[in-house]
Chain A
Amino acid sequence: MNKNKQTGIPDTFSRRRFLTGLSVALGAVGAAFVGIPIIGFLFSPLLQEIPQDWRPVGAVKDFEIGKTVAISFLDASPLPWSGVTAKTAAWLRRDSEQAFTAFAINCTHLGCPVRWLGDANLFMCPCHGGVYYQDGSVAAGPPPKPLAQYQVRVRNDQVEIRTGAVPIE
């Protein structure tokens, strides 16, 4: 191969190296431009903060003091095509005249929905035998933590619950 007499760089060698490098660099730039919107789109649930909402779940007088009942409400900012999947349930107990506690139905073990047994005053999970007392603390089985709670407030004689994320570890 011929070398440039002044620089000593072989002619074909430098041109080919340059063209290879250019092709690879252009490919990388193209991939980056395509990749950014795609990856951003797929990861958007991690990047966007969804503001939570207060949802009315019934009049205060409709809830008996000391009783735990199931209520349901819509998630925050549901997509228009979500249908029934946008609903969430909670166990709501009226502790006194104006005080309420709302438990997430997700067992703290692996998320299955716990059932309230009124006569036994226990929450029981159907999946792996987790049991909770009526205050949400763990009574038996594998759950590591007490039942998570949603924020509850009373506004204009309406009980309102604040939507929240599914409780993850």
Chain B
Amino acid sequence: MKFLKNAWLWIDDRTGIVELLEPVMRHPVPPNTGWWYVFGSATLFVFILQVVTGIALASSYVTSTAEVYNSLQFITHEAFMGRILRGMHYFGASAMIVLIGIHMIRVFLMGSFKFPREVNWLTGAVLLLLTLGMAFTGQLLRWDQNGVWTVIVGAEQAGRTPIIGTMLAHFILAGDTVGGATLSRFFSFHVFFIPALVFGMLGSHLYLVLRNGISEPPQPGQPVDLKSYRAKYKELLHKRGVPFWPDVAWRDVAFGVIIVLVVILVAAAWGPPGLGNPPDPSIIDAYPRPDWYFLWYFAVLALIPPRLETWVILGAPLLLGVVLFVLPFIANRGERHPIRRPWAIGSVLMIVLTIGVLWRLGVLAPWSPNFAAQPLPKAVVSATSGSVYEGAQLFHQKGCEFCHTVAGYGGQRGPNLTDVGNRLTSQQMTIRIVNGGTNMPAFGGNLTPQQLEELVAFLQSLHGSY
């Protein structure tokens, strides 16, 4: 024991480690911060989890597009603990997005971004952007069929930029089409370039937390005043400050450990996202989808009017960036407590609700044709021969069922036709089928007069009771 103690004293004398760390660990922080303040450190712990699981995965991952799929299969099914490692990395990414969102909302609602912590907010905004970049590039490294199409859709969106659009798209694809160079580029960005930026930003973010101190819990009736805040804060720390370690830090550690354990548990229980078809762009049957945290944006792209699309794809992120950047400049003083800031509460509620609703729609994706629709069963078709029967077969063959539902069978792109016989006359049906509509093709060139008659006969027989 004496030897260990002496060894420690020697190390401390040569390196000054205690001198360096003790002020950081023991620095006084405002009392009564409670559990609201754990989300920043939780995000940090999950980030560290991502780095170490990422390093482990990278030791087996092969970045050539010819072999990457095989290496992913190997990691998932053969490598010892590979399945759970992939799961930890995937659910860790999900946890980061959730935690960074909660952390940002907490900071915003408690006015912690106000003077003197404006630059902290700005570095945090950049970290949010980088995290989304990591999420996007990371999904692609799961280079299966979905990964290939995700990169093409991403490049197409970038291609909407005026003037430099095609150049941007080619930069993303690392060429004029998706190929061997594309994956290596994303690997380099996801593993080296963006993490380097994250480390840099994280360093400044944490340094600023130490420099300005964590904000005291807000009180209504105590607005931030630029002239007096610093002195008041210093006095608060002097009179009632508690040492960060362990009085407050224990909550960060406890919550961080719980979150990491939850990630591991979920990874073990659910496993990583399954690998789809091989990354062959010539396999045409594909169903490209982003990972769950981007499904709300997928819904946005499906639902906005086509004329507005380019404006939204380019303008919305730009607007978001401007709003995030401008916030600490226009709102850096005044009341901090949310009860005195109804606009803050209102905008957070609106954003959360909007994203929530869009997310649910992104999961259901009612705008996608239902290619799996089978010919309508006998229970629904009220005839076994004749016009109505032939019409029912045409309803499937001509693709109507991919977009329309009858008695629960079919797609949801177009109106439900279960009782269309009660709503439209034969003439109205004929006009619609022949001419199409806003989101419906004109079938006039695709149906013979007899086929049209049979189809209308079938639709006229639909009265909604099954």
Contacts and interface: CB of A to CB of B under 8 A. Distances in A.
A39 to B, nearest CB: 12
A87 B438 contact: no
B181 A79 contact: yes
Mostly helix, strand, loop or mixed at chain B's interface? loop
A6 B444 CA distance: 98
Nearest to A80: B180
Interface stretch (A9-17, A18-26, A116-124): A116-124
Contacts of B283: 89
A88 B170 contact: no
A124 to B, nearest CB: 5
Interface residues of A, number: 52
Interface stretch (B94-102, B261-269, B383-391, B394-402): B394-402
A110 B282 contact: no
Mostly helix, strand, loop or mixed at chain A's interface? loop
B12 to A, nearest CB: 36
Contacts of B64: 81-83
A131 interface: yes
A129 B411 CA distance: 11
Interface residues of B, number: 66
B301 A140 contact: no
Contacts of A110: 153, 156-157, 301
B440 interface: yes
Given A120-B399, A166-B155, A89 B282 contact: yes
B371 A86 contact: no
A113 B285 CA distance: 7
A85 B65 contact: yes
Contact of B180 (A85, A113, A127): A85
Given A83-B64, A113-B281, A166-B178, 7 more contacts: A81-B67, A85-B65, A85-B143, A87-B280, A105-B284, A140-B436, A168-B165
Q: Nearest 3 CB-CB pairs, A to B?
A: A83-B66, A139-B441, A82-B180
14 contacts: A70-B282, A79-B179, A81-B180, A84-B278, A85-B179, A111-B156, A112-B288, A119-B399, A126-B371, A133-B445, A140-B436, A166-B173, A168-B166, A169-B166
